[in-house]
């Protein structure tokens, strides 16, 4: 009980965007060829995924002030293995959603335009996105992936981890996140989705994909900043289908 109380108190004072695969297993190498490691000064800090040959999708709160030092690594499994054929590409431009709000994490989505097109192969490929306003039913079994911390305050994983989760009923998540007036983050039924399970996302997994039936339906956004995979405050993902038009408008404009 003491641990729970402390966690709740810290939730109010710590930034919720330091979200957070905990209790995960190592993914089959290159089984998710769309995964990218978003890095600053060549150090992993967020996940992301390829949606075109020149664009990756990630969370808006993963943006850094010095964009020229931002890179993505494609075709990676073990970030420490220089012999596996992964490729580092500089980020040319960041397109944060115009209505992104840092304090409340509304519209937590960002496109990264790469300096050059990726070369598609068995280890580098694009992912599928949902249709506009398409919903995923509560109870659907999905997966999350990342190189984030393996447990609260634990070490980052060098190798890509994965874990199964289930989509939570929207109203249940709404009640859990919006029951306290002193928490700035507010859950949006139309633009967010929650998951629950034995494992989940942790710090360093932000921006990574929530995958349901081979379609990326969500972007890792936020959770309890003091306790990874908290049952009191489940992990929240940006609902990609709510941003279908905005995503393709940016991409098509750059062609």
Catalytic residue numbers? 61, 108, 206
Class of residue 193 by CB neighbours under 10 A (exposed 0-12, middle 13-18, buried 19+)? buried
- Please count the other Cβ atoms lying within 10 Å of the Cβ belonging to residue 100: 18
88 membership: H or E segment, kind and range: strand 87-96
Q: How far is CA 199 from the centre of its chain?
A: 15
The answer to whether the beta carbons of residues 104 and 214 sit under 8 Å apart is no
Which helix H or strand E contains 244, and what residues bound it?
helix 244-253
The 8-class DSSP code of residue 131 comes to P
Helix (H, G, I), strand (E, B) or coil at 40: strand
Phi, psi of 68 (to 5 degrees): -70, -15
Residue 113's nearest CA partner among 91, 88, 87 is 91
β-pair partners for 35? 49
The rounded distance, in Å, linking the Cα atoms of 60 and 186 is 16
């Amino acid at each position: 009980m003491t641990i729970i109380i402390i966690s709740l108190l810290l939730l109010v004072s710590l930034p919720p965007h330091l979200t957070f695969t905990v209790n995960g297993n190592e993914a089959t190498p290159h089984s998710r060829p769309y995964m990218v490691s978003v890095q600053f000064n060549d150090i992993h800090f967020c996940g992301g995924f390829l949606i075109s040959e020149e664009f990756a999708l990630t969370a808006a709160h993963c943006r850094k002030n010095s964009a020229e030092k931002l890179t993505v690594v494609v075709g990676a499994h073990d970030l420490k293995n220089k012999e596996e054929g992964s490729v580092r590409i500089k980020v040319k431009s960041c397109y944060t959603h115009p209505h992104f709000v840092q304090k409340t994490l509304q519209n937590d989505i960002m496109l990264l335009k790469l300096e050059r097109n990726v070369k598609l192969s068995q280890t580098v490929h694009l992912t599928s996105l949902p249709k506009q306003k398409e919903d995923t039913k509560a109870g659907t079994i999905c997966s999350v992936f990342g190189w984030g911390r393996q447990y609260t305050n634990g070490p980052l994983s060098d190798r890509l981890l994965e874990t199964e989760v289930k989509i939570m009923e929207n109203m249940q998540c709404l009640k859990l996140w919006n029951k306290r007036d002193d928490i700035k983050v507010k859950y949006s039924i139309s633009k967010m989705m929650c998951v629950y399970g034995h494992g989940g996302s942790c710090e360093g997994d932000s921006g990574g994909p929530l995958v349901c039936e081979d379609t990326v339906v969500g972007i890792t956004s936020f959770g309890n900043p003091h306790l990874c995979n908290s049952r009191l405050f489940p992990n929240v993902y940006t609902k990609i289908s709510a941003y279908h038009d905005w995503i393709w408008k940016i991409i098509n404009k750059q062609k």
